[in-house]
Amino acid sequence: MNVTLTAADGQTFDAYVAQPAGKAKGAVVVLQEIFGVNSHIRSVADGYAAAGYLAVAPATFARVQTGVELGYTEADMGSGFGLKTAVEALPGQGVLLDIQAAVNHAAQHSGGKVAVLGFCWGGLLTWRSACLLEGVSAAVPYYGGGVTTADEIARQPKCPVLAHFGDQDHWIPLEGVEAFKSAHPQVEVHVYHANHGFNCDQRGSFDAPAAQLARERTLAFLAQHIG
């Protein structure tokens, strides 16, 4: 189902919410790629709900454009990159206020701890959430674009982090991954023989074995840190 959430500065935005069958073990905030809260992100949220978690997927483009739901063509990529650039240019805390509101909603409605999990740009936002937001008990960035830059490596997470990368990812060179690992030995880092976007079964870069292994590791990590 879709709900409307309100950030601390009054900004409203939509979020897709997937409910577990029984009492939630905790909650997962799922952060989109640059393609909006599309069918893939909703399916990811549904998957975590099936695993027993309340899943909340906020529309992180809402401050610049509402109702964004893109596919994976070159044109879609261009549109998504433009929207991401606009959100990244927002003053102050920008979209982090919306993610905080999603975390708060997830905590309130699950009655448990909250993890943040995201892909590509959402992976970068997941890392920032781990370092800057309140009430985040675990974070799982998948191929976080920008996480391995010097400014992001300089941040310090306030919760346990599990990071997934691909060794064929031309957006995130392995030397950057090694620098990230060296700076954050407490972060659990896994590198898969896979490309950027390996978790998304709607992309040509989908890698089923890598996606399955990453999900198994993620579910074990969530069980350890949020229940």
DSSP state of 161: B
Q: Are 199 and 119 in contact (CB under 8 A)?
A: yes
Task: Give the model's confidence band at 204: pLDDT under 50 very low, under 70 low, under 90 confident, else very high.
Answer: confident
CA dihedral 80, 82, 87, 89 (to 10 degrees): 160
Q: Which of 83-97, 141-155, 192-206 has the lowest mean pLDDT?
A: 192-206
Tokens, residue 98: 């919306």
Check whether 170 has a pLDDT greater than 90: no
CATH code of residue 30: 3.40.50.1820
Catalytic residue among 40, 105, 164, 196: 196
Give the domain range for residue 115.
Answer: 2-225
Mean pLDDT for the chain? 96
Check whether 203 has a pLDDT greater than 90: no
Check whether 133 has a pLDDT greater than 90: yes
Catalytic residue among 40, 98, 169, 225: 169
pLDDT of residue 161: 98
- Mean pLDDT in residue range 82-105: 97
pLDDT of residue 221: 98
AA identity, residue 154:
A
For the chain, give the percent of residues with pLDDT over 70: 100
Task: Give the model's confidence band at 41: pLDDT under 50 very low, under 70 low, under 90 confident, else very high.
Answer: very high
pLDDT of residue 114: 98
pLDDT of residue 77: 94
Question: Structure pTM?
Answer: 0.97
Residue whose token pair is 């991401």: 84
Tally of structural domains, the chain: 1
* Listed residue (140, 130, 136) closest to 103, CA to CA: 136
pLDDT of residue 195: 86
Q: Are strands 2-6 and 188-192 parallel, antiparallel or unpaired?
A: unpaired
196 assigned to active site:
yes
Check whether 25 has a pLDDT greater than 90: yes
